Structure 1
């Protein structure tokens, strides 16, 4: 039973990315309504462990709903170093390495996210990480004036005392509250938690209702699995124990509620001389959510008379000498019928009330439902000469929010009522039912209740998995006697026993009342010559004679055989259940079924074979057994599939985010479930999208090679570097139009990352090209090695926005040199957002044949469902960030060292960097101030992507292609170009001039760069810096640059020069006139300076030559 208490064991209860996105969007809407620039969320010690922020994190990121938001009082330590600001249109975040690891699946896919994560080295240095966190916090607050915060109810309400807020004043610009207007949004945010949303409803359906169902199963299992003769001793306390275990834990530890429903199990009063109760009532609720149910179950075989076996003992009663067959009348059968008829009427009234409510929500009142029940109960009671009493019928209708608090049912705001999913409960009870057998005896009460959701004039019953009907026999008087029948003493009616007991079969009893399906029971069989003995834990032993069987039919399947027949009611006569179905599986096929067939043939009993007998088709359980029917999400106005309802609620939520007044109709959503395959005679277009450096072009080339394998032809739309530098959406479309004039083959079109895919798709679908082309599908290419923009884990813009269902039909994850665990991690992350998109893994742009085949055959982009999905997820789409494109020609051969310093192009201005040694010497405050200035400097140029075709000195017979970004540099030799070297005489000198066959040197050799805040002048400046690094200027020498050996060498070369005043060189030392040895030559400084002048003159000449080379190179780039 533990699985019913373990929430995480149920995969359907997981918190989905769209759920978190929807809750963040609700906060954004609150920011707009409250006119605040953003909501600040500070976790951990930096907000003094603010409990209000813990609740918000529980709701937004951890997937808790209702009371769970408050009961999870302590935030995981891994999230204590996280800061978030939710603005009106995007989110800013700071996470340490631990926090990012936990929230990575959500953050990596969140659109319009500005994220900063310290590097592993910075994170390990606690002092440095604190400085970074405070500086990043200041950056996150930039541009926000009116800021919302959550203040705790008791202490720590002064935000200026929060540690990270105190650091704000170190900049000298004043305290936090002086620079920002603080708005307490605690009450407003707390109101967001109370209404249900799709995720809280998912928890009700997939977790809480399943747990209640488990409680019911466990309670009834206690009664059904003990021997029948001991069942009358079972007490109410034993039956309700499994409910109370959970209830008491929740009641004592977490929830204090006035309207709580204490679980109860009550046996009915005795109605006959045998003193056995005929029914029990069961009622319970989940204390967290107030999800509740009530049931009435029955405790006899529900028959008016019974086939029984009576043992006849010898005169001394030492042993049984024979058995006799008898039919025994049950005096209490009228009471059984009365109870189950009332129960059936209550269930029918419940469903009739739902139909009435769906037609008009305003009819969901106690009075109208009471009148409906009264109308249905009157005929039932009249049949038993009973009068309907108003005081005996109790009707209650209630509604609950996500905290399980009862709320008034308000239909005055129809828009809010329709847009917010709510759950309700209707409870029906008829009490003080008098016995028909023993006058003056009250049988007890009959109750029924269920919890349900209303949506668009349709309903879904949350607690429908809890069986409406259970029948467990507690009368052991005759069952034990049947069990004792032995082979050596055959009963004349049954005949000789011809099989052993075979277990693990199933028994199914279809009821005439569709709402009262009797649950399938596990059965054991013993075959006799004239009949079959049957045992189930619920019913005990009984037997059926072959001559009592009518309309026998057999179904034959691969796994089991079912025998369906009609007989006199020997079980459940009060339900008019005259049909029984026996399953034969495993050993019972050989030991019972085959022998049974032979016996029926010998006795000339007619047998038919069928696939779908009527008895099964009329019942829900029968359809589950025999008919492999397709799931029907909506039958009339009853929602049958929970997954359909949850998908609908999710779609409705996301569409509401796009337009507040829009409302997705349930029937319209149902019509979208069947996709129609598009058939078109126009030219098919396959769009390849992806971020920079994702390998789109290489992938398109790999895909094109497979076209002939599937009897298709394909061409690729490609652009030179020069074309890309002036390319916009209109230019892209014009190039496609011109290319299709010469070839009518389907086209694989690569869309550069800096162009708006939405504009291109819009023009292909509705523009002038739409008459000639149609979009077959969209493929999004993702390079696992290029997920982040920088070392601080800022995700690349639009990383997954083109993998959204509807927008994309295929997502390709490309890896190269990655660990399998890393690839699997990202595969799982992207699979959560690419729910209805086919996602595949490839390596180094090499596509598999099976994947290529699916891409070529897919034409579903414009299907009805995909059009709907695009409208559903429109609010999730990231906004294209404006970017600039620059192409710089570079026909001059580069020096080989250029390969090593390409990455320097992606670093920001060097003037803002401080040498590591100097930085480490700064005080903590100065470090903080420096970091703030670094983060908040004016708009700095940021290169994101570089593509270059270059040649190198001494290797003119080769061309190289470079692709570079913040994460890596890839060098490839261009092998598709045929290079010819020709000698030409220029100025009397023979030079080798390369000729590139099939290659437009002028338009492709050079650098193509994309970034923000860049221009050609800025890029030329960057490249100029690189050239200077390739051949740096040599600094002039000073005495400090000279080594001791060099100085000694200078002194030795001038040892006999300039000696005066009696000084002389003796061949080993320089001595004065007194013969004393001097430490240095008297004029050594003069000699050193002369040496420096000579060397510096050479350096100046060399530097002038290098400078001239720089100028020549830069002038060539500017041409």
Structure 2
């Protein structure tokens, strides 16, 4: 395929406000000509003066026509361009409108004089138009090219071969450079994380009201964010992996996840009726997708405690948490597999190696069960050399998990995905050998990987309440868990930590020989360590928020 000798970008009325040219100008000038840019409005100059620019980009130089009014606005953005040729009148010369117009035409003719093939950014992303050189010929500045005396001696489209370079430019726009990364981190990612904050706010309510939440209500923040953004988005991919969803319990089947029909979710699917046989749902799968960028993130969250608290001789809770425990164990393995896959891909940049990563994780124990279906993949264009500079999404789904405990029905599916960015450079070692050095960052790591909400009241059998109710944090080394704030209570037969997400975490005195409390100078420090513990505590370390001095054998 032949390459153009230059790429021509004309703004304003001279290109009949072509959106492809505006998009290229905004890419080169860091959004200077965005519609929401207030800097130009404050100048008081009319729009036709401010967007009176022509840019011709050649392999070894750039030609820029502008006027003395917008020159000062453009200069900070273009001063560092190499081999830049300005075509601009002085303020006094610009006052003569006829002379200024003739100068623009002659500058345009001089710019393209050495070219034979000229690329036109005809279409903007997401709005591909059939290229028509006769439409370009009708652009005012292109028509003026044919004027006798000051023009180029003939019609522009007859003298030069025009070609549409829109698609090639879109590939350039999608690359992650320092500027686009800054925009992603400080604009797109912050808006993306805010949608998750709104999502969690739907569940910050009492137990009876959580049960009445529908998939439609829970997913409204993701759906509104996506649908409103798609109005002006250039992304045309409408596959299920690029759509938001919230599905409860047994409704999260493979068929429903792959249907991609999430725009009109049912109001009838509630937390209280989407479990097995119309019972309360044990979990939900959720996904948020950025409508204007590559960010996407999916999670599995739970309804009910994912652990079995000490309840004396009562075994009823053990049966209630069996299904949640099974789902959470599978989800924990899925998270581990995806993170291992990202680590592997960052080192090898090979998708085939990613599929081997789960074999080194605890997931290998689970996928040996013939009844489980799973998929793991990296969503990114891997067939070109530019893939390293693109945002990727690593995802894994385990579909249609059966109730292994009773053999009746399907519990639903488990999903997890992260968006990440990789970077790789070649490093020359002391012995002269060249080896790659890779780094990666998970952009959506701040989205909680694990969360649960109680949908029934817990009971505890730890004897008489002695004291407590003070605020504490429970922390875990598990990558899915974030510090949880709750209350700590001391009973005659043990201790109890309680918060509305995890429920009751209780430790019987039969499993402890002593409790050591630390009084230090920090406002947050360890208070409780369990010595000679006979049970697995899941890496929990309890921390007090207030200083205190206490040491007592239980």
TM range, normalised to the smaller chain?
A: 0.7 to 0.9
Q: Matches of 1:258 and 1:286 in 2, distance apart?
A: 12
Instruction: From 288, 293, 296, give the equivalent of 1:289.
Output: 293
Q: Report the counterpart of residue 3 of structure 1 in structure 2.
A: none
Superposition TM-score, scaled by structure 2 size = 0.73
Q: Secondary structure at the match of 2:224?
A: helix
Instruction: From 219, 223, 227, give the equivalent of 1:240.
Output: 219
CA contact (8 A) 2:282 2:303 kept: yes
Q: Report the counterpart of residue 413 of structure 2 in structure 1.
A: 445
Q: C-alpha offsets along residues 934-954 of structure 1, whole Å, 9 cap, x if unaligned?
A: xxxxxxxxxxxxxxxxxxxxx
Are residue 388 (structure 1) and residue 370 (structure 2) matched? yes
Q: Report the counterpart of residue 74 of structure 2 in structure 1.
A: 103
Q: Secondary structure at the match of 1:157?
A: helix
CA contact (8 A) 2:105 2:151 kept: no
CA contact (8 A) 1:292 1:451 kept: yes
Following superposition of structure 1 onto structure 2, how do residues 947-1096 of structure 1 map, counting pairs within 5 Å?
A: none
Q: Report the counterpart of residue 171 of structure 1 in structure 2.
A: 149
Q: Secondary structure at the match of 2:337?
A: helix
CA shift for structure 1 position 440: 1.0
Q: Matches of 2:504 and 2:343 in 1, distance apart?
A: 41
Q: C-alpha offsets along residues 274-328 of structure 1, whole Å, 9 cap, x if unaligned?
A: 94332221123223334322211122222323459xxxxxxxxxxxxxxxx9897
Q: Report the counterpart of residue 88 of structure 1 in structure 2.
A: 59
Q: Matches of 1:268 and 1:210 in 2, distance apart?
A: 29
Q: Report the counterpart of residue 330 of structure 1 in structure 2.
A: 318
Q: Matches of 1:440 and 1:449 in 2, distance apart?
A: 29
CA shift for structure 1 position 465: 2.6
Inter-CA distance 369–526: structure 2 relative to 1 (3 Å threshold): closer
CA contact (8 A) 1:374 1:388 kept: no
Are residue 473 (structure 1) and residue 454 (structure 2) matched? yes
Q: Matches of 2:88 and 2:151 in 1, distance apart?
A: 26
Inter-CA distance 105–533: structure 2 relative to 1 (3 Å threshold): farther
Q: Matches of 2:282 and 2:157 in 1, distance apart?
A: 75
Q: Matches of 1:396 and 1:272 in 2, distance apart?
A: 26
Q: Matches of 2:8 and 2:278 in 1, distance apart?
A: 71
Larger Rg: 1
Are residue 565 (structure 1) and residue 529 (structure 2) matched? yes
Q: Report the counterpart of residue 198 of structure 1 in structure 2.
A: 176
Following superposition of structure 1 onto structure 2, how do residues 747-786 of structure 1 map, counting pairs within 5 Å?
A: none
Q: Report the counterpart of residue 144 of structure 1 in structure 2.
A: 114
Inter-CA distance 262–555: structure 2 relative to 1 (3 Å threshold): farther
Following superposition of structure 1 onto structure 2, how do residues 122-133 of structure 1 map, counting pairs within 5 Å?
A: 123=94, 126-127=97-98, 129-133=100-104
CA shift for structure 1 position 492: 6.5
Structure number having the greater helix percentage: 1
Q: Matches of 1:230 and 1:178 in 2, distance apart?
A: 69
Q: Which runs of 5+ in 2 are unaligned?
A: 37-45, 123-129, 251-273, 425-437
CA shift for structure 1 position 100: 3.0
CA contact (8 A) 1:532 1:544 kept: yes
Q: Report the counterpart of residue 157 of structure 1 in structure 2.
A: 134
CA shift for structure 1 position 245: 0.4
CA contact (8 A) 1:40 1:147 kept: no
Q: Matches of 1:172 and 1:78 in 2, distance apart?
A: 22
Q: Matches of 2:488 and 2:154 in 1, distance apart?
A: 80
Q: Secondary structure at the match of 2:281?
A: coil
CA shift for structure 1 position 332: 2.7
Inter-CA distance 435–174: structure 2 relative to 1 (3 Å threshold): closer
Q: Matches of 1:76 and 1:388 in 2, distance apart?
A: 66
CA contact (8 A) 1:335 1:435 kept: yes
Superposition TM-score, scaled by structure 1 size = 0.39
Inter-CA distance 88–438: structure 2 relative to 1 (3 Å threshold): closer
CA shift for structure 1 position 506: 5.5
Q: Report the counterpart of residue 309 of structure 2 in structure 1.
A: 305
Q: Secondary structure at the match of 1:185?
A: strand
CA shift for structure 1 position 461: 2.9
Q: Report the counterpart of residue 160 of structure 2 in structure 1.
A: 182
Q: Secondary structure at the match of 2:445?
A: coil
Q: Matches of 1:184 and 1:523 in 2, distance apart?
A: 67
Give the aligned length.
491
Instruction: From 484, 490, 496, give the equivalent of 1:521.
Output: 484
CA shift for structure 1 position 581: 2.1
CA contact (8 A) 1:93 1:114 kept: yes
Are residue 45 (structure 1) and residue 25 (structure 2) matched? no
CA shift for structure 1 position 226: 0.7
Inter-CA distance 290–111: structure 2 relative to 1 (3 Å threshold): closer
CA contact (8 A) 2:421 2:441 kept: yes
CA contact (8 A) 2:62 2:83 kept: yes
Are residue 57 (structure 1) and residue 45 (structure 2) matched? no
Inter-CA distance 76–304: structure 2 relative to 1 (3 Å threshold): farther
Inter-CA distance 178–461: structure 2 relative to 1 (3 Å threshold): closer
Q: Secondary structure at the match of 2:199?
A: helix
Instruction: From 365, 369, 377, give the equivalent of 1:397.
Output: 377
Q: Report the counterpart of residue 650 of structure 1 in structure 2.
A: none
Instruction: From 508, 511, 535, give the equivalent of 2:474.
Output: 508
CA shift for structure 1 position 156: 6.6
Q: Which runs of 5+ in 1 are unaligned?
A: 1-29, 69-74, 309-324, 401-406, 483-490, 606-1119
Q: C-alpha offsets along residues 711-736 of structure 1, whole Å, 9 cap, x if unaligned?
A: xxxxxxxxxxxxxxxxxxxxxxxxxx
Q: Report the counterpart of residue 952 of structure 1 in structure 2.
A: none
Q: Matches of 2:278 and 2:155 in 1, distance apart?
A: 81
CA contact (8 A) 1:151 1:184 kept: no
Q: C-alpha offsets along residues 635-677 of structure 1, whole Å, 9 cap, x if unaligned?
A: xxxxxxxxxxxxxxxxxxxxxxxxxxxxxxxxxxxxxxxxxxx
Q: Matches of 2:459 and 2:527 in 1, distance apart?
A: 25
